[in-house]
């Protein structure tokens, strides 16, 4: 799609569950509408939109059309009284099955250091890349194996913290919704024993092992070239020297957290691998305890790739302690988690910079009987209060999501999916179905029920992202982009030259451009895909 579709009638272009609520969003005047069977052209439902909401983020008056009474599986469109037409959508028992597989398969396409080809890669294969050893900054004589893992985003950098966040989301999806991943064999490694999602996570975990400094247990912050390559450079053509940036406390805390989680989850499938993960987590924890006060990471001189700087590491330490406690039951980790929980950091955030929510979730999933009753109650109450706030904001929003006008930032779709993930965790903790319904509204937004009428997932939906800021999608000269990639979404700050030139004065939710040069609205990353996998899995159980 080369132009934005400011949607007069917008729907989830992936579809709606047969038995669930089905809403479309309309801009303009209140009017009657018809749902049309796409195969026969017959009218199968007629409705009237409700009163409008003055929706400030989108800059529109937004009406809702409710066609929940339509439950017959099929493919449909909606037509308005003035001839407006929605994108096509399906109604099915499990309309998000293929979407979930595509969101997960995207991680295969992000793989580094291996050739992607044959039936697994389709049109989007490429040769093995980034196989050279990397140089440790500050120790020019020290070279290390740097291959493997996932490229982080539209570039080819690899980052310990964001990688750990992505793996954590996927492992949690498996842990909470294992039925959603049954019977799927789409990877070269698929063996019918270990689920594909765990096979794919192992790709990144194996690389993370290489990021742990020999001897100290600290974890290098990132592995990149000095500068980003050109936008049309394929992975195998990016041959500049690779550098391990220095160890950071945030990377080490994230590493300890995700390795402790992996030790628990892989134990039934591969005891030796689980033991290796746990030993790596313990070694990283030893580094953290030996370095209680560490300055935040900043790019070393000469390195201009993404910094992922973070001045506060108490949230990552909390996650590490809580996860190690959950996996081992060791009171030393429990005591550390209780002490760290007293510090003033966000405890319900799931972003790469604020990882406290993962520590909270690890503690709550341990169960009340095995934890400090007062801390458990405090964290549970706080989680449900935050979920309640998101629920209230969503009910006031024209498109039924939890973003305020100021929340349309660089990577706003990460907030959309992280918030949906938090809502689903609240459902898991409380058993209240209203949280899941609200989370599903966030998925509807991502897949096209938004003011622009665009599905922010490449390859899914009639009007989906076509020109992501993603080097393989630009450099491979294939018409369609790599499928299953979640784009960043509207950014009211207009942080790149393309959107500054083309989107001045637009409302917050319209500050998006489906253009390869718009890195602030149309880049893709592993940690925008990962919460989308979690959310989609919930609705495929």
Mind telling me the catalytic residues?
A: 469, 514, 523
Contacts for 267 with CB less than 8 Å, ≥ 6 apart: 274
Contacts for 286 with CB less than 8 Å, ≥ 6 apart: 217
Contacts for 427 with CB less than 8 Å, ≥ 6 apart: 433, 435, 436, 439
HEC states along 250-305? Answer: HHHHHHHHHHHHHHHHHCCCCHHHHHHHHHHHHHHHHHHHHCCCCCCCCCCCCCCC
Contact 489, 499 (CB under 8 A): no
Computed over its alpha carbons, how large is the radius of gyration of the chain? 23
The SS3 call for residue 95 is coil
Residues facing 523 on adjacent strands: 469
C-alpha 496/C-alpha 378 separation (Å) is: 41
CA atoms within 13 A on the CB side of 171: 26
119 dihedral zone (left: phi>0; alpha: psi -120 to 50; beta): alpha
Q: Which residues of 195-230 are buried (b: 16+ CB within 10 A; e: fewer)?
A: bbbbbbbbbbbebbbbbbbeeebbbbbbbbbeebbe
CA atoms within 13 A on the CB side of 286: 11
Residues facing 47 on adjacent strands: 33
Q: Report residue 135 as tokens.
A: 């140089």
C-alpha 19/C-alpha 94 separation (Å) is: 10
CA 74 to chain centre: 29
Q: Report residue 155 as tokens.
A: 């570039």
Q: Report residue 91 as tokens.
A: 């109604």
User: What 8-state DSSP symbol labels residue 13?
Assistant: T
- Tell me which residue has tokens 């842990």: 175
C-alpha 458/C-alpha 466 separation (Å) is: 6
Nearest Cα to Cα of residue 359 among 367, 350, 368: 350
C-alpha 506/C-alpha 479 separation (Å) is: 29
HEC states along 179-225? Answer: HHHCCCCCCCCCCCCCCHHHHHHHHHHHHHHHCECCCCCCEECEEEC
CA 198 to chain centre: 17
HEC states along 336-381? Answer: HHHHHCCCCCCCCCCCCCCCHHHHHHHHHHHCHHHCCHHHHHHHHH
């Amino acid at each position: 799609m080369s132009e934005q579709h400011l949607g007069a009638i917008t729907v989830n272009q992936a579809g709606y569950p047969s038995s669930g609520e089905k809403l479309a969003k309309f801009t303009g005047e209140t009017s009657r509408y018809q749902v049309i069977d796409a195969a026969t052209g017959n009218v199968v439902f007629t409705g009237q939109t409700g009163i409008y909401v003055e929706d400030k983020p989108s800059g529109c008056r937004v009406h809702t059309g409710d066609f929940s009474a339509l439950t017959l599986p099929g493919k449909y469109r909606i037509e308005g009284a003035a001839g407006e037409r929605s994108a096509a959508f399906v109604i099915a028992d499990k309309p998000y099955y293929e979407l979930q597989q595509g969101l997960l398969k995207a991680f295969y396409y992000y793989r580094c250091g291996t050739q992607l080809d044959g039936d697994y890669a389709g049109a989007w294969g490429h040769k093995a890349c980034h196989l050279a050893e990397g140089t440790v900054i500050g120790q020019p004589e020290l070279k290390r194996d740097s291959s493997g893992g996932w490229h982080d985003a539209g570039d080819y950098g690899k980052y310990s913290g964001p990688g750990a966040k992505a793996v954590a989301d996927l492992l949690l999806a498996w842990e909470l919704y294992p039925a959603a991943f049954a019977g799927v064999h789409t990877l070269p490694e698929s063996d019918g024993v270990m689920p594909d999602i765990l096979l794919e996570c192992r790709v990144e975990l194996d690389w993370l092992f290489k990021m742990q400094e020999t001897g100290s247990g600290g974890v290098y912050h990132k592995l990149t070239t000095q500068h980003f390559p050109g936008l049309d450079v394929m992975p195998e053509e990016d041959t500049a020297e690779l550098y391990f940036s220095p160890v950071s406390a945030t990377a080490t805390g994230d590493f300890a957290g995700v390795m402790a989680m992996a030790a628990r989850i892989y134990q039934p499938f591969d005891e030796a691998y689980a033991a290796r993960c746990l030993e790596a987590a313990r070694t990283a924890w030893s580094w953290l305890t030996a370095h209680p006060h560490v300055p935040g990471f900043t790019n070393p001189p000469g390195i201009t790739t993404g910094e992922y700087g973070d001045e506060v590491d108490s949230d990552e330490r909390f996650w590490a302690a809580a996860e190690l406690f959950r996996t081992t039951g060791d009171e030393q980790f429990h005591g550390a988690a209780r002490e760290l929980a007293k510090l003033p950091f966000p405890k319900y955030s799931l972003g790469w910079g604020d990882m406290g929510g993962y520590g909270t979730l690890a503690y709550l999933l341990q169960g009340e009987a095995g934890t400090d009753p007062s801390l458990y109650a405090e964290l549970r109450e706080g989680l449900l209060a935050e979920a309640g706030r998101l629920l209230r904001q969503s009910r006031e929003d024209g498109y039924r999501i939890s973003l305020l006008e100021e929340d349309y930032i660089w990577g706003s779709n990460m907030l959309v999916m992280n918030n949906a993930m938090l809502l689903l965790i609240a459902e898991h903790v409380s058993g209240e179905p209203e949280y899941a319904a609200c989370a599903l509204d966030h998925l509807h937004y991502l897949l096209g029920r938004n003011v622009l009428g665009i599905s922010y997932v490449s390859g899914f939906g009639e009007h989906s992202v076509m020109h992501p800021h993603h080097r393989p999608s630009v450099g491979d000269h294939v018409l369609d982009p790599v499928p299953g990639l979640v784009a960043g979404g509207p950014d009211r700050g207009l942080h790149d030259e393309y959107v500054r030139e083309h989107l001045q004065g637009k409302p917050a939710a319209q500050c998006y451009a489906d253009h390869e040069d718009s890195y602030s609205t149309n880049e893709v990353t592993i940690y925008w895909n990962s919460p989308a996998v979690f959310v989609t899995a919930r609705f495929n159980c």
